[in-house]
Structure 1
Amino acid sequence: MCPLGRRLLNGEGGWTAPAHLCCHCLLIESRHGLILVDTGLGTRDVTHPKSLGRLFNGLVRPRLQMSETAVHQIRELGLDPREVRHIVPTHLDLDHVGGMADFPQAQVHVYGMELDAALSRTSLHEKSRYIPQQWAHGPQWVRHDLNGEKWFGMDSVQAVPDSDDEVLLVPLAGHTQGHCGVAVRTDSGWLLHCGDAYFYRGELDDEPNCPIGLRFFQWLVAMDNGKRLANQRRLRRLKDRFGDDITMTSSHDPVELALMSSAANYRAQHAWDEPDLLERSVA
């Protein structure tokens, strides 16, 4: 995504230059099939960009390429998109679920509050962020309530079915009513995909920092800004106490995505290395 105002949104560069933001997905291979965290913009969004709305297209300026859709990238990995059994959206904003229709066989796991808000669209705010055409195919919704176990001090955490308790829904409301993070157990610890709970890597620092444009945007679109800020504080405490066990990433920070991709590529290319050497190198 290439909105104008690089300095306001990326913290460097020209004031009117295009910024660089992303909206990435996370694909998980489980014993029971594939699990997709967020779907990004889908094939219909690429072929019918007007459906995204003039406001979104004009301000966000998405680079709509079929090769960047999740379904295309899954095929490029040599995998079958029909093996995506579960989709776990961090929330139902248009840039996170546009690709749902590309996986009609998948169950879609979402908190009840988020699903109700998206389906009813009772406020102007909700009408602008939720696009019913993106789920006109009739997804297999699976509603989740706010109950579950504790996970590193986080409350009401529950597992995604068929994940062997290795993919977890973590409540992180604020950006939307039913926003969630998704925790994934990996060979090197836990990965917590925080979605839009924060937008800039500096927001998890001991002394949080964020480009002013991104800070204003998060305040502007938050459904409950108090909860959003409270959950950012919880994430900072989580990083401070368990940073050796949990790696966190958000949806829109391109630097975080580049670091995650580099680490994943390194692990793939050096899978034969001794585990302790690999962990030191990645760290």
Structure 2
Amino acid sequence: MTIHHLDCASMAPVGGRALLGAGGRLTGRLVGHCLLVETDGGLVLVDAGFGTADVAEPGRLGRAFRAATRPRLTLEGTALQQVRALGHDPRDVRHIVLTHLDPDHAGGLADFPQAEVHVFADELSAARELATRGERDRYRPAQWAHGPRWAEHRTAGESWFGFEAVRPLAGTAPDVLLIPLRGHTRGHAAVAVRRGGTWLLHCGDAYFSHTEIDPLAPHCPPGLRVFQRLMAVDDPARTHNRERLRDLLRTRPDEVVPFCSHDPHEFDRLSGAAEPDAVDTAHRPAR
């Protein structure tokens, strides 16, 4: 499989490198790390970033979200345009696999109406029910008002490197797995994609900085620490899963390459690694 790393949700929150770990002195830098996977059965998109409708109508992202993240909304940055720039027909995106349904991950769904959208059932229920104030603030139903072809998955399946309840996605490439990592949201997931002899593990928002899963000296920039605690629906579960990811990196450094959605350091290291059937062991979080 050929795997492309795309930034589909660039953001520049106030805070700077000292608070957020990346960016300038006053303004931070966050990316929206998505994957485009070329398979024999068509294209698979992991997370969808901001969509063309978000660019045309930024208000649908919500005032609080825009104030906190300061999104950089351009048509060129959407998954739709990046798929086209790679020479593909967007209609060939057959599946979208979501880590969760926050607005910087689900905005591009409407740009691929033909795709089957894979998500954990708990996450879809949270987005539909909007049972809490936090969930009413974070989810933007306009992003899926077009009626996606949902494929709801239960957290039951096989075992993968000690992570329980891993479910292969029926109908996608055989080496794409959905892994529950509850904490940031009710149905938050990681997505594992086999590439040669290595697994790429898209951890979504299970952590925000590569320094958090450093096996030797883990730490989190203060601004990201506060933000993650505020956004988590289950912070003990989030921190527990982050520790499991750190252990995975420590014990399986040659087999699994974890990365999160928003760390520009990880994105910059991986975004050149799109050659098929190649494993670049340098593309992993700094130690």
TM-score (norm: length of structure 2):
0.91
More helix by share: 1
Corresponding residue number in structure 2 for 1:37: 46
1:92-113 deviation line (CA, Å, top 9, x unaligned) = 0011000000000111111111
Corresponding residue number in structure 2 for 1:263: 273
Gaps of 5+ in 2: 1-10
Match of 1:181 among 156, 173, 190: 190
SS in 2 for 1:26: strand
Distance in 2, matches of 1:11 and 1:145, equals 36
Corresponding residue number in structure 2 for 1:117: 126
Distance in 1, matches of 2:113 and 2:153, equals 20
Match of 2:244 among 218, 234, 243: 234
Relative contact order, CA 8 A, sep 6+: which one is greater?
A: 2
SS in 2 for 1:90: coil
The amino acid that maps onto 1:199 is F
Distance in 1, matches of 2:73 and 2:207, equals 24
**Does structure 2 retain, via aligned residues, the 8 Å contact 1:188–1:279?**
no
Corresponding residue number in structure 2 for 1:208: 218
Shift of 1:194: 0.3
Aligned residues: 272
Corresponding residue number in structure 2 for 1:248: 258
1:63-85 deviation line (CA, Å, top 9, x unaligned) = 10000000000000000110111
SS in 1 for 2:271: helix
Distance in 1, matches of 2:248 and 2:100, equals 21
Moved more, 172-181 or 234-243: 234-243
Distance in 2, matches of 1:22 and 1:215, equals 17
Cα gap change, 1:236 to 1:63, in 2 (>3 Å): same
**Does structure 1 retain, via aligned residues, the 8 Å contact 2:270–2:283?**
no
Shift of 1:122: 1.1
Matched, 1:146 2:146: no
Match of 1:220 among 230, 237, 240: 230
SS in 2 for 1:190: strand
Cα gap change, 1:279 to 1:228, in 2 (>3 Å): closer
Shift of 1:224: 0.3
Distance in 2, matches of 1:205 and 1:28, equals 27
Corresponding residue number in structure 2 for 1:162: 171
Match of 1:4 among 14, 18, 22: 14
Cα gap change, 1:248 to 1:280, in 2 (>3 Å): closer
TM-score (norm: length of structure 1):
0.92
1:160-189 deviation line (CA, Å, top 9, x unaligned) = 123342000011110001000000000241
Shift of 1:56: 1.5
Moved more, 4-13 or 197-206: 4-13
Distance in 1, matches of 2:52 and 2:36, equals 17
Corresponding residue number in structure 2 for 1:63: 72
Distance in 1, matches of 2:99 and 2:127, equals 13
Distance in 2, matches of 1:239 and 1:137, equals 39
**Does structure 1 retain, via aligned residues, the 8 Å contact 2:94–2:115?**
yes
Q: Which has the larger radius of gyration?
A: 1
Corresponding residue number in structure 2 for 1:95: 104
Cα gap change, 1:281 to 1:8, in 2 (>3 Å): closer
Cα gap change, 1:217 to 1:279, in 2 (>3 Å): closer
Distance in 2, matches of 1:54 and 1:280, equals 41
The amino acid that maps onto 2:123 is E
Gaps of 5+ in 1: none
The amino acid that maps onto 1:56 is F
